[in-house]
Structure 1
């Protein structure tokens, strides 16, 4: 009876009409107007769809973990892991299997991908190749399958004939088998493989384009299966790829780092040129001489990082270390256990990071960035922090929220516990409106920030300035300029002149900063407002001149807002329209260019007073630009051209900062590194 049901289901699934009912072929209701989105809107909608993949996979984790548990002993016994797929599914399988030999030093013949159309289909699509069920059978029969092999058939629709034939062959040969699909009740499920892993990712962003969410799900699951299997096989040690083999410069550097990390806290044994074991009383130094010692060790271990670690930590001769690794099936943790408690019970040495934090508290949001010497490692955002319109309690609440969000992204976040911050080396807090607050409010703010971040303002562990002064960090480590002018073109434009005096940066003067209602010169808000004002003016004019046609800019704005001429009431997203039309490569819109030009002229007039000889002469100064539009090269170039057109001296250097909090946190970390070098 079951066989009859299976046969009937498979016959139905083969019919052409069934395609219309597959979940992967359905139209996505979220994306029914995607061709009307601007580019950012498209990216946001696409990202929202892709974010659903991990949630869909989560429901399949019990089956995936059981599959891995069944797979590992088969791999230990010499069995093969074989992926089967057509088109994108085959390429995803090939991508995963081809990375395993170099990453984990496994036999390439043990990890295979069979692609419809052969290897050439990986590079050049062969759409008809997937329709041959017999070809799938032939390809799998040629591999001479055994019960120790594992075959995973990948098909988003669950009905690809090539995969169907291959998976049926695997089941007939008593292989461990799995179907990886994105459609419930599929033809592959009807074959009754050992595991049916159905990830319901739903309709694609583009209907039927299963290289998107379905492809992302397949890649994540195959990565999970292979990586977790390698961990269970002892191909890693802690989080280190200890079985990697050195075959290029990047891997050579990674290999040295792994040996140092494995041997942290104990003497390191190395090999002399003749292969004799020698020891050092401390870790091999991170220097050119230390690198030479480790490179020689790794080379004498035939490029095997695991063997190099075994020699370095045990002091065994190369031959003996290799023999002991073989005796424990290459499991490095078991190798350490067999060396005795002096090695296997070594205390875990925590990784110690120096953290540098910056708060950028503006009129619309608060951003907290945390950096180490390797770069920004945590970032969080919360609400507005402008002293002119936000109470102190609310400001502290937003800073605290953004800080905890940033901490949650740190590599050692689990060590800090809920609502706790790590030890911070240096903090810089920049808040809008701070110059207008009372002395008592300022003292209360400093006390509460010190308590939050556990730093001392008096001992210069924390710096407190206005948000615009964060950009002065651009000259903190740059000896090319002692003076600078920063320009923030945002919701309330402001220009600030500053000069470096010793290890301090002092403010010389500022213009603007009146808030977005009175002083938003040259910002995205300003450009959008000017565009809207232009449309409104033309709508009024049309009352008296019915023959006048709307310009391209005006028509595009009305389409963006989805309204008629008498309904124009919003500036949302209008700056993007103006810049796209004004800066397009072919036939730029002159109306848009005129609006953009007026914005840069306003900015130039704001900068001019600060560029006087007795304040901050451009010849010896850095111009620091920030704000969404400043990160658009054509707009920046237009501003600089307008500066020259006004007869002003060009600046010695121009720096564009995308995110003030990220940039400043990294500068703090960089300054600390330079101070360490100076002390040495």
Structure 2
């Protein structure tokens, strides 16, 4: 599909007089358009859920989640990947973000990088993409050559492929095992997909990684229980999480954490199951790291 036929490139009637609006009117127009994003993402709930389950399964088996994209799409993939280790205590190699043009492209446009399907394939070959991995190709236009090349290569090596775009007739849909297509409509600033399309992309990526980490046992309820207290702020948070999960006071939570070597999961299971840290560790190992299941066992 030609670029000028894409929904993300169309003119938005609500903002055709954007430069003639008062500042507060401009803000309200943008806010009104942004309100459409969550609804568009919500329409893709089943597709997103499918991807969450596939990602969780592949990660359990030692596979990886790889994001690939150019420009804003690539930056958002790198951002989501980089936030997984501090949030979920994952190995940095578990979720990886690749952007056309490399690290330099995070802050500076790299001329022509997104126009090369060969580069999209070679960047994935360089990290050893394989059949246990999941590749999410992010291209709000749905036609970025770098992403097209990456998805084609991923299918060739047997990786599970996901196409994330914001245009209903996106070219990359036919290259994917699952397509996630939140159609957010024309941007307030025509063609500026860092706006609604970028917001939709961020929401989808957040949901994929958070959902997969929940399935991997990185949470208990809505608490981040794989936290490692490596500084004073995180130590205070760890104590608070143990308190919230178990109902004990701060002193008791601190004592339990100390007995469990600072492991939040261990402390919660030991306290709620009324077992030793050693038994709590055994239960977690047998239950795949799932706190709730370990307690019930």
**TM-score over 0.5 for the alignment?**
yes
Flag the 1:47–1:170 CA change in 2: closer, same or farther, 3 A. same
User: What residue in structure 2 maps to residue 259 of structure 1?
Assistant: 242
Q: TM-score, normalised by structure 2?
A: 0.94
Specify every segment of 5 or more residues in structure 1 that has no aligned partner in the other structure, as ranges.
1-12, 265-282, 339-680
SS in 1 for 2:37: helix
1:212 equivalent in alignment to 2:201:
no
User: What residue in structure 2 maps to residue 662 of structure 1?
Assistant: none
> Could you tell me how far apart the structure 1 residues matched to 2:192 and 2:151 are?
23
Give the deviation of 1:208 after TM superposition: 0.5
Equivalent residues in 2 for 1:292-441, closer than 5 Å: 294-295=253-254, 297-298=256-257, 301-338=260-297
Give the deviation of 1:318 after TM superposition: 3.2
User: What residue in structure 2 maps to residue 168 of structure 1?
Assistant: 152
User: What residue in structure 2 maps to residue 618 of structure 1?
Assistant: none
Give the deviation of 1:321 after TM superposition: 2.3
Equivalent of residue 28 in structure 1, options 9, 12, 19 = 12
Specify every segment of 5 or more residues in structure 2 that has no aligned partner in the other structure, as ranges.
none
> Could you tell me how far apart the structure 1 residues matched to 2:28 and 2:274 are?
55
Give the deviation of 1:241 after TM superposition: 1.3
Give the deviation of 1:29 after TM superposition: 0.8
Tell me how many residue pairs correspond in the alignment.
297
Equivalent of residue 45 in structure 2, options 40, 61, 82 = 61
Give the deviation of 1:320 after TM superposition: 3.3
User: What residue in structure 2 maps to residue 51 of structure 1?
Assistant: 35
Give the deviation of 1:32 after TM superposition: 0.6
Equivalent of residue 62 in structure 2, options 64, 68, 78 = 78
Higher relative contact order (CA 8 A, sep 6+): 2
**Runs (4+) of structure 1 moved beyond 6 Å?**
none
1:100 equivalent in alignment to 2:59:
no
Equivalent residues in 2 for 1:68-217, closer than 5 Å: 68-191=52-175, 193-217=176-200
SS in 2 for 1:109: coil
Give the deviation of 1:299 after TM superposition: 5.1
Q: TM-score, normalised by structure 1?
A: 0.42
Give the deviation of 1:257 after TM superposition: 1.5
Flag the 1:299–1:96 CA change in 2: closer, same or farther, 3 A. farther
> Could you tell me how far apart the structure 2 residues matched to 1:184 and 1:159 are?
12
> Could you tell me how far apart the structure 2 residues matched to 1:203 and 1:74 are?
35
Q: Which has the larger radius of gyration?
A: 1
Assess if the C-alpha contact under 8 Å between 2:187 and 2:195 holds in 1. Answer: yes
> Could you tell me how far apart the structure 1 residues matched to 2:258 and 2:116 are?
48
Assess if the C-alpha contact under 8 Å between 1:311 and 1:317 holds in 2. Answer: yes
> Could you tell me how far apart the structure 2 residues matched to 1:141 and 1:303 are?
39
User: What residue in structure 1 maps to residue 208 of structure 2?
Assistant: 225
RMSD across aligned C-alpha pairs, in angstroms?
A: 1.7
Flag the 1:320–1:88 CA change in 2: closer, same or farther, 3 A. same
Say which structure is richer in strand: 1
Assess if the C-alpha contact under 8 Å between 1:81 and 1:110 holds in 2. Answer: yes
Assess if the C-alpha contact under 8 Å between 1:84 and 1:90 holds in 2. Answer: yes
Give the deviation of 1:326 after TM superposition: 1.4
Assess if the C-alpha contact under 8 Å between 2:257 and 2:263 holds in 1. Answer: yes
Give the deviation of 1:335 after TM superposition: 0.6
